[in-house]
């Protein structure tokens, strides 16, 4: 059944219900809630996902050498090297260097000027 046929079925007046038949009008609030949930799933939730994806792309584009970043695993580090067109960056955290994907960076915490001015 399509949504249009459901609307037509629920919009029709059935007159008096038979004594043993369930009431047709009791389903109307349930139908309205179902339509609202369908609206949320088709319109609102995808819009939020698109907005989050745009914010993540903007964040990845603003990464540069010397930026202090936080990853989704909770690692805080400083960007040591980044190549244009590459999806990986190298960060330094304490005494270790990690090669990570740009997409795991969730926040830029600031900049380390000393690292930004270093040459390879």
CA 105 to chain centre: 14
Write down all domains in the chain, each with its CATH number in brackets. 3-59 (no CATH), 63-117 (2.30.30)
Q: What is the pLDDT of residues 65-111, one digit of tens each?
A: 989 999 999 999 999 999 888 889 999 998 999 999 998 999 999 88
Mean pLDDT, all residues of the chain: 81
Q: In the predicted model, is pLDDT for residue 43 greater than 80?
A: yes
pLDDT of residue 96: 93
Angle (CA) 46-33-45 rounded to 5° is: 10
Q: How far apart, in Å, are the Cα atoms of 95 and each of 24, 77, 78, 112, 119?
A: 70, 10, 11, 16, 19
Whether this prediction's pTM lies above 0.75 is answered by no
């Amino acid at each position: 059944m399509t949504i249009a046929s459901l609307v037509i079925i629920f919009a029709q007046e059935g007159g008096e219900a038979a004594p043993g038949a369930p009431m047709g009008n009791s389903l109307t609030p349930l139908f309205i809630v179902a339509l609202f949930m369908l609206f949320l799933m088709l319109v609102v939730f995808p819009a939020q996902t698109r907005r989050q994806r745009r914010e993540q792309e903007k964040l990845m584009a603003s990464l540069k050498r010397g930026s202090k970043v936080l990853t989704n695993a909770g690692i805080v580090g400083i960007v040591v090297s980044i190549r244009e067109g590459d999806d990986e960056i190298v960060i330094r955290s304490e005494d270790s260097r990690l090669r990570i994907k740009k997409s795991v960076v969730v926040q830029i915490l600031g900049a380390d000027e000393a690292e930004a001015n270093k040459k390879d």
